[in-house]
Amino acid sequence: MNVDLFDFELPEALIAQTPLRERTGSRLLALNKRTGEIGHCRFEELADFLRPGDLLVVNDTRVIPARLFGTKPDTGAKAELLLLKSLGEDRWETLAKPAKRLKTGTEVHFGGAPGQPLLRAVVEEEGEMGARTVRFLYEGIFNELLDRLGEMPLPPYIKEQLEDRERYQTVYAKHEGSAAAPTAGLHFTREYLDKLQEMGVRLASVTLHVGLGTFRPVSADTIEGHEMHAEFYQVPEDTAALINETRAAGGRIVAVGTTSARTLETAARISRQDPELPEGKIKASSGWTDIFIYPGVPMLLVDALLTNFHLPKSTLVMLVSALAGRENILRAYKEAVEREYRFFSFGDAMFIY
């Protein structure tokens, strides 16, 4: 399938530059995946589309201050590392800038006085598109140093740091490890989640530590030629039990964000491979997933999806098209552009049901 089938006009002005002051202040486009009907409302009206017995599944990953700005001790030149994935033993997969100047063996220093950095990074391997594997050298506790020296890894079109780091965290963020926020969840407040639970909607958590592979553009000519980068996920026992109870009772599995959807679909596929598991049941699992969902790849578990608006030709717009159909999505996106919805990480929301 050609990648250009998922292209559309998106004025740059519609890419949200800053978060709304109130989390629930966004607009909501509701798309019926069966009829193609489109509705427009405020995010607070999401409750009107949910039913008692539905299970809302959120990604409880927590973003780490993964962007480090340092200098090369030999030249004083500036360098930047974005931490993507811990490889253990103080080794990290990173995205480097300027990558062409960070060859194997290069050192980058962070913090401290000249010649006495608080943190050192040594490039051990070079990869494609700026990828570098580095080893960190330091005294003390790495996470404390990262919290002191690192900055939140905001999208590149956000030109200023947030005064409140928590604005780039969901209110249910728990397990540290992401290089980007699962942004569909940024709309929720604790109070609104309580309201949904009071009306009979249940809440469950999964974890997927978001890496930049989720947002990397598709460079291949065809969808089938694109490879996703693996990300760590976990579906705990209590969530698997709630999913099974919900399905048995006829409730819907509602994923909050594409990361939750990818996690649930990964668990569904792993569960299908277990001959001892009753058909249709889900079991707890964890590991690395590089699942790529696009039209033609069936959704086995997700019934409905809350998401933001994604960029043209991205893996994310392909995923939502797998759930709702490409024609429905492109028509909804065209209407969203005409009505000037805010796109991407800090943008408005879309509910596919």
The answer to whether residues 190 and 171 touch, using CB atoms and an 8 Å cutoff, is yes
Q: Which residue has the tokens 């004083």?
A: 76
Which helix (H) or strand (E) segment holds residue 57: the answer is: strand 55-59
Beta bridge partners of 340: none
Q: What is the pLDDT of residues 200-214, one digit of tens each?
A: 999 999 999 998 666
Residue 343: per-residue pLDDT = 96
Longest pairwise C-alpha distance within the chain: 65
Extract the tokens encoding 210: 């978001």
What the chain holds in terms of domains, given with CATH numbers, is: 3-63+165-352 (3.40.1780.10), 67-149 (2.40.10.240)
The answer to whether residues 305 and 320 touch, using CB atoms and an 8 Å cutoff, is yes
41-52 average pLDDT score? 98
The answer to whether residues 144 and 125 touch, using CB atoms and an 8 Å cutoff, is no
Residue 213: per-residue pLDDT = 66
The Cα–Cα gap between 196 and 281 comes to 25
94-116 average pLDDT score? 95
Residue 27: per-residue pLDDT = 97
Q: What is the pLDDT of residues 5-20, one digit of tens each?
A: 999 999 999 998 888 8
152-159 average pLDDT score? 80
Residue 160: per-residue pLDDT = 66
Residue 63: per-residue pLDDT = 95
Among 270, 298, 303, 302, smallest CA distance to 284 is for 270
Q: What is the pLDDT of residues 306-350, one digit of tens each?
A: 999 999 999 999 999 999 999 999 999 999 999 999 999 999 999
Per-residue pLDDT at 67 exceeds 90: yes
Among 11, 17, 40, 21, smallest CA distance to 349 is for 40
How distant, in Å, are the alpha carbons of 6, 133, 213, 325 from that of 227? 17, 19, 9, 22
Residue 212: per-residue pLDDT = 67
Strand ranges, E, within 221-339? 231-235, 253-256, 285-289, 304-308
The Cα–Cα gap between 20 and 102 comes to 37
Q: Which has the higher per-residue pLDDT, 25 or 145?
A: 145
Q: Give the up-direction half-sphere exposure of residue 130: CA atoms within 13 A in the CB hemisphere.
A: 15
**Rounded mean pLDDT of the chain?**
94
Q: Which residue has the tokens 């580095």?
A: 134
Residue 129: per-residue pLDDT = 84
Residue 117: per-residue pLDDT = 97
Residue 157: per-residue pLDDT = 76
Per-residue pLDDT at 196 exceeds 70: yes
Strand ranges, E, within 73-162? 78-88, 91-97, 107-110, 119-126, 131-138
pTM of the model: 0.92
Q: What is the pLDDT of residues 210-229, one digit of tens each?
A: 986 666 778 888 999 998 98
